[in-house]
Amino acid sequence: MQKQYEHIIIGAGHNGLVAAAYLAGQGKKVLVFERRSVVGGKVVTESFGDDFIVDSVQTGGTLRPDIIKDLKLPLRAERSRRQSRSDKPAFVSLQPDGNHLTLDAESIKRFSERDAARWPEFVRFMDKAAYLLDVAYSTIMPRLGALPRLPKNLSIKEGYGLFELGLELRLAGRRDMLHFIRALPMTAQELLEEYFESEIVKAAIASVAIHGSTLGPMEAGTGYTLIHNWMNRGGLSLTPSASPDGRGESEVRGIGEITQALANAVKSLGGEIRTETEVERILLTAR
């Protein structure tokens, strides 16, 4: 008899694997189809020939610490949600005169004493804003009905996440809450001009906002991308993992270790993954 599944996921990229693992964890019968011979989608560590093994993506988004915890992945969260991102400058900004800037007060002082004095307050706000964004990303939003009506059977449980998000915003304090809401649609330039005077300092921080996008720092919404990328500083491939015996910690061997850990979680929770299986058609039947 043909095996029955409650959920079929097409593609074993990290998103498909996370979804599959959570569903399998809830006791659902899950099957993942992957057309390639390896799982991981774009997050893989692969060899393109002898002795040449590369990560498909460089540091980017961080794997959420709550996913690591929920799925008991043998990976250690790179940081806690509230930990400052300022302790690891992401880059060095090289200047034409041979000088350079890193993102810390000491280095900033060489370009502007005033900016160096304002740096801690900027970091404090950005850490808080990144935390609020992190909370927003993990909030399951209630269903939207055909506006202006609310969806039928909207339960208190469904709206609870939104309530919690509102509470977190309010607990951030009136000043930070308003500044956060204001900053999201702003340009990175406008936001940075509220803090800094040095063009070199502003340009270096603004580059965080436009990393990985085709936007420029004078485009609306780069206030949001600045906070988003601030949240992600550290990146996936820096996530250290537990050593195989579960004791101590070692560096991840490659970014693909993350999707391997996810695939293992799917299987250990009872889910199934079929590689080299391309979905060609989805047949829909009316019930």
Q: How many of the other CB atoms lie within 10 Å of CB of 77?
A: 19
Subset of 90-109 contacting ligand FAD (CB under 6 A): none
* By the rule CB under 6 A, 254 interacts with ligand FAD: no
* By the rule CB under 6 A, 12 interacts with ligand FAD: yes
SS3 273: strand
Q: Shortest approach of ligand FAD to residue 230 CB, angstroms?
A: 15
All residues at 6 or more sequence positions from 257 whose CB lies less than 8 Å from its CB, including other chains: 45, 75, 241
- Pairing, β 100-102 against β 45-47: unpaired
Please identify which residue in 87, 197, 199, 278 interacts with ligand FAD, judged by CB under 6 A: 278
The Cα-based distances of 253 to 233, 236, 237, 259 in angstroms read: 19, 12, 9, 12
DSSP state of 55: E
Extended beta strands in the chain, E state: 7-10, 30-33, 45-47, 53-55, 92-94, 100-102, 241-242, 249-250, 272-274
* By the rule CB under 6 A, 279 interacts with ligand FAD: yes
* By the rule CB under 6 A, 16 interacts with ligand FAD: yes
Binding mask 194-233 for ligand FAD (x = CB under 6 A): ----------------------------------------
* By the rule CB under 6 A, 10 interacts with ligand FAD: yes
Please identify which residue in 6, 42, 173, 182 interacts with ligand FAD, judged by CB under 6 A: 42
- Residue closer to ligand FAD by CB (options 15, 99) is 15
What is d(CA 182, CA 256) in angstroms, rounded to the nearest whole number?
A: 38
Continuous segment of H or E residues that includes residue 260: helix 256-268
Please identify which residue in 57, 162, 169, 238 interacts with ligand FAD, judged by CB under 6 A: 57
Please, are residues 271 and 2 in contact by the beta-carbon 8 Å criterion?
no
**Binding window for ligand FAD (CB under 6 A); candidates: 57-65, 95-103, 128-136, 194-202:** 57-65
Please identify which residue in 14, 79, 211, 228 interacts with ligand FAD, judged by CB under 6 A: 14
* By the rule CB under 6 A, 55 interacts with ligand FAD: no
* By the rule CB under 6 A, 234 interacts with ligand FAD: no
* By the rule CB under 6 A, 19 interacts with ligand FAD: no
What is d(CA 95, CA 190) in angstroms, rounded to the nearest whole number?
A: 23
Task: Find tokens 């199934």 and name the residue.
Answer: 272
The binding site for ligand FAD (CB under 6 A) comprises: 10-16, 33-36, 41-43, 57-58, 60-61, 236, 278-279
